[in-house]
Structures are given as structure tokens and as C-alpha cells.
Amino acid sequence: MSDTRRIKIFDTTLRDGEQSPGCSMNLREKMEVAQALVELGVDVIEAGFPIASPGDFESVREIAGAVRGATICGLARCNNADIDRAWEALKLAQQPRIHVFLATSAIHREFKLKMTREEIVERAIAGVKRAVGYCDDVEFSPEDAARTERDFLCQVVEAAITAGATTVNIPDTVGYATPQDYGSVIALLKNRVPNIDKAVISTHCHNDLGLAVANSLAAVENGAGQIECTINGIGERAGNASLEEVVMAMRVRQDFYNCTTGIHTERLVPTSRLLSSITGLQVQRNKAIVGRNAFAHEAGIHQDGMLKERSTYEIMRPEDVGFQKTDLVLGKHSGRAALADRAKALGYQLTGEQLQAVFDDFKKLADKKKDIYDGDIIALIEQRIHGSDQAEWSLVSYEVATGSGHRPRAKLTLRRGGQEHTAEVSDGDGPIDAVFLATEKLTGIKLKCVDYQVRSATLGHDALGEVNLSVEHGGQTFRGRGISTDTVEATVHAILSAANRIAVTAK
């Protein structure tokens, strides 16, 4: 057997992942995700597309200046303005990388770029050379490579490496490839590009046909040395290759792939939960590796096998990816030390101030329900540390009344700047609509609800209810999140969370 290869993990959650509808993050949230990715052990963090917007530029610059322990990458098209802007954002990074891209497929050349093959090669060379003038670590991507003519793809890749690219990424931009097809492209580059040994071959696969992970692994089989992926597989359209899936596939089947990564796999579930909390996008229960049912066994035959020998129905341990082996039950007599210990075991590093706030919430919850489980603790922590940036408006009290044959009524009292404001409405299609109307009346912010989801944080009739919603305001979408044993109260908190985000943005 040949020596084990080390595969680089390039995480694009903050760039391609954030382009997924409903996944936009503010600066604080991006910084938090970036730090979590370092703790996870990713090699490269693609922090954004600096020229795309002032916000993207600021995010990349802040991450580059503050985050250590991984290469920080910024995306740029093959033109001077993009590349210059990318370097301006990246120049404070300890390990900067400029990632330039240019479409190469016939359909993109004809309809998007309106450029000839010769012009494409010239532009690619010029872009790579300009990037190399700023830093040694330069990645080049021939966009839509999977649909590019093979001979031309080899020509462009060779030219980019000659110009100084140290990584050549082969994007399946529209998720068109199949594993055998995509693997053969990587093998072709390895065999036909004379200077391919001077660069790392990277993969960037989209999941339109559900093949992103399979395609990425097929590329590794054929010599790729880097996989571009995202936490929970988020991204444009159907998403990107899922980081947790490609990593665990190579770990569990190391006998087949003969590869390792630098990922600390026990951080996979906490990082997945962090991203879900920030974006409001929950992973499906049966999602591989990080889904709530990933290690659940209900069938009698499976349970019998598990009791006799765990490996009969589990190919990896839940602890290996960050699930806790036990579900510790805490109650109202539990102290702050016990809560701090459990929070740490669940993957959260709380400051003293955060711990005190969560402990106060914990005590209030303990008065409402007898036993508090891991899911409850996670919900309390995420409510505190991933809420809106500033509480412009906070809830003082609410009253909701509804019933058959009666118009719904909502009375809401909010605090702003030390003063309390009350509004009462008797309108709407139901109690939730009435709460929305009361919030609009008090805050002066028009809210159009476009998504509303309620789920339980744990099992049981006294479980915490978690509400995630999205509202439209001024042509933008804002998320809100709230938790409570009372789902109406959780909804009020979620509406206020979204309203506070809008108020902060408007400043």
C-alpha cells in the first residue's frame, strides 16, 4: 500500500455557503463561524468575495486580521479590480490566498463572456500573474470545468500553473458530473498536464444531482489533494459537498481511500449546530453524520444487534463526530459549575458573562419543567450567544386571546431605551398574526413573514419550543429565533429578534 496522503479541506461556508438563500450572516456571525472552522481544523477558509460588496470586503478583512490557524482565502474574478480588492482585504492575513476564477466551458464562453479560447487563456494567465504579484499562494479555478472540452481544460490548467498558480481547482459548477466522469477528468489532468506536479488539484462540487460528495471522493481516488466543501452542505441551489460527509467517508474507509485530513471530527456536530443556529437552517433528521437520527436505532433487529455488538449496525461511534454518549439530566438544584461543565462537553466555550446569562435562563426554565436535557441546554445557550446583535426592543409582557367565534387579540409591552411601550390589537387571522401586527405598531417596522417553523428542542410535552422565522423588510430577508416552553412566547421572541436585526441594519 502506498503512503497515506494528506487531503486539504478548503471550507467555503462563508463564501459559497453564504450565497444560499436565507444564509446571509453579519460580521459577528462570520467571525464566530471562522473561529469554529479553525477549531475544527480546516486548512483553508474562503472568507468571502471582497469586491462583491462593502460588507463582504469588511468581513474578509476582519477575518484576515484576527483569525489565525488556517489559510484565509478571498475570491476574485480574473480582472485587476477584483484581484486588487481581494489583496486589500487579505493583506493582514498570516497565511493569505487569492482565489481567481474564469469560466472556460463553451456555453459560458459564448453566452456569458463572449470570449474566444485564446482570450480566455490570456485572461487566465494575466489574472494569475497579478495575484502572484501579491502573494505566493494563488488558486485558479476554470469555472464550469466539468462541462469544458477536455483538451482546452488541460491547456488552461497548464497555462495557469506556468503563470504561478499553486492550486488548480476543477469546479463542477452546476452539479452536472457523475463520479466516473468527474474522476476521469482528474485522472486526465494528472496524466496530460506536464506541470501538474507543481500544483495541488482541488475539487469544488455542487449537489444538483445529489452527487457532490461522491464526485469529490472520486476525485480523491484519482489524485486530487484538496476538497472544497461547506458545513451541512449549504450553498447555491442544492448546495455544495458536505464537509462532514467527505471527511468521515475518508476516515471510516481509510482502508479504501488511504487518506487523512486535519479535521478534529469530534467538533463536527458542534460546528454543524453553530451554523444551523446562526442561519436558521436546520439539518434534516436523517442527514448523514450530523442529523439527529444519524445514530438512532428503532428497528428491533437493529436494537438487538446493537446490544450484542455495537459494530453490527454502527460503522463509527457517535462520540467520534461530537454527539454525547449520555444525555445528562439537570434540575433546579444543579449549580453553575454543573451547567458550565455540561456546556463545555456540548462544545460551547462560554465567557463568564454568557455563562451567568445562560444560568439565569436555566434557573427560570428549571422552575417550569422537572428535568432539563442536553437539547434544552443547547437551545438556551444558542438563544443567548446567537441572538440579535443589539436588543433595540425587549419583551416586557404579552397577552394573547383567541377562540372560536372571537377575533384574536394581542397586547404587547416592549421596552426600548429604558421606557416601556404598549400596544393592543384585535385583528389578524390568528394569535400569531395579531402578535406580528402589535409588533409592527410598536416598532414602526413593517414585517412580512415568509417562513415560520416550530420544533421541539427535546422530547416530552414540557419540551422547549424553538421558533425560527424569516421576514421581509425593504427588499431584504431577516431571520428571527426564539425559545420558550410556551410556543407563543417563543414566537414573540423570534419576531422581536428579526425586528431588532432590522433596527440595527437601519442605523
364-421 pLDDT per residue, tens: 888 877 677 777 888 788 777 765 445 788 889 999 888 887 888 889 999 998 899 9
User: Do 207 and 334 fall into the same domain?
Assistant: no
In a domain? residue 257: yes
Residue 463 has pLDDT above 50, yes or no: yes
Asked if residues 290 and 36 have their Cβ atoms less than 8 Å apart, the reply is no
- Domain boundary among the residues 362, 385, 408 is at 385
Band of residue 486 on the pLDDT scale cut at 50, 70, 90: confident
- Label residue 90 exposed, middle or buried (CB < 10 Å: 0-12, 13-18, 19+): buried
Q: How far is the C-alpha of 395 from the C-alpha of 183, rounded, in Å? A: 56
pLDDT averaged over the chain?
89
User: Do 127 and 267 fall into the same domain?
Assistant: yes
User: Do 94 and 171 fall into the same domain?
Assistant: yes
User: Do 11 and 140 fall into the same domain?
Assistant: yes
Q: How many domains does one find in the chain?
A: 4
91-124 pLDDT per residue, tens: 999 999 999 999 999 999 999 999 999 999 999 9
Question: Where do runs of H (alpha helix) occur along 67-163?
Answer: 80-90, 106-108, 117-132, 150-163
In a domain? residue 288: no
Helix 374-385, helix 268-279: angle, nearest 10: 50
CATH number at residue 172: 3.20.20.70
Asked if residues 219 and 190 have their Cβ atoms less than 8 Å apart, the reply is no
Band of residue 306 on the pLDDT scale cut at 50, 70, 90: very low
List b or e across 420-440, with b for residues whose CB sees 16 or more CB atoms inside 10 angstroms: eeebebeebeebbebbbbbbb
Calculate Rg over the CA atoms of the chain.
25
Q: What is the reported pLDDT for 487?
A: 86
pLDDT more than 90, % of the chain: 57
Q: What is the reported pLDDT for 213?
A: 98
- Domain boundary among the residues 221, 244, 279 is at 279
**Cell numbers that stand for 262 in this block:** 486535519
Residue 44's H or E segment, with its range, is: strand 44-48
Of the ranges 178-187, 293-302, 432-441, the best mean pLDDT one: 178-187
In a domain? residue 347: yes
**Which of the pair, 438 or 166, is modelled with greater confidence?**
166
Q: What is the reported pLDDT for 302?
A: 45
User: Do 146 and 44 fall into the same domain?
Assistant: yes
Instruction: For residues 151-159, give the mean pLDDT.
Output: 98
Count of beta carbons in the 10 Å neighbourhood of residue 231: 29
In a domain? residue 286: no
Band of residue 309 on the pLDDT scale cut at 50, 70, 90: low
What is the identity of the amino acid at 161?
I
Residue 443 has pLDDT above 80, yes or no: yes
Q: What does residue 378 show for φ and ψ, rounded to 5 degrees?
A: -60, -45
In a domain? residue 423: yes
User: Do 127 and 237 fall into the same domain?
Assistant: yes
Instruction: For residues 457-470, give the mean pLDDT.
Output: 76
In a domain? residue 17: yes
321-334 pLDDT per residue, tens: 988 654 556 777 77
**Beta bridge partners of residue 482, listed in sequence order:** 467
In a domain? residue 284: no
- Domain boundary among the residues 222, 248, 279 is at 279
pLDDT more than 70, % of the chain: 91
Q: What does residue 343 show for φ and ψ, rounded to 5 degrees?
A: -60, -40
User: Do 169 and 306 fall into the same domain?
Assistant: no
In a domain? residue 360: yes
257-290 pLDDT per residue, tens: 999 999 999 999 999 988 988 887 888 888 999 9
Of the ranges 150-154, 348-352, 486-490, the best mean pLDDT one: 150-154
Q: How far is the C-alpha of 26 from the C-alpha of 501, rounded, in Å? A: 10
* Nearest Cα residue to 494 out of 462, 473, 465: 465
User: Do 196 and 244 fall into the same domain?
Assistant: yes
Q: What is the reported pLDDT for 462?
A: 65
Q: What is the reported pLDDT for 106?
A: 96
Could you tell me the residue range of the domain that residue 347 belongs to? 324-385
User: Do 308 and 357 fall into the same domain?
Assistant: no
Q: How far is the C-alpha of 46 from the C-alpha of 72, rounded, in Å? A: 6
Helix 80-90, helix 117-132: angle, nearest 10: 30
* Nearest Cα residue to 232 out of 188, 281, 184: 281
Asked if residues 499 and 445 have their Cβ atoms less than 8 Å apart, the reply is yes
User: Do 333 and 364 fall into the same domain?
Assistant: yes
User: Do 250 and 302 fall into the same domain?
Assistant: no
Q: How far is the C-alpha of 195 from the C-alpha of 403, rounded, in Å? A: 74
List, in order, residues 6 or more apart from 149 with CB less than 8 Å away.
105, 106
Q: What is the reported pLDDT for 301?
A: 44
User: Do 378 and 398 fall into the same domain?
Assistant: no
**Cell numbers that stand for 303 in this block:** 436494537
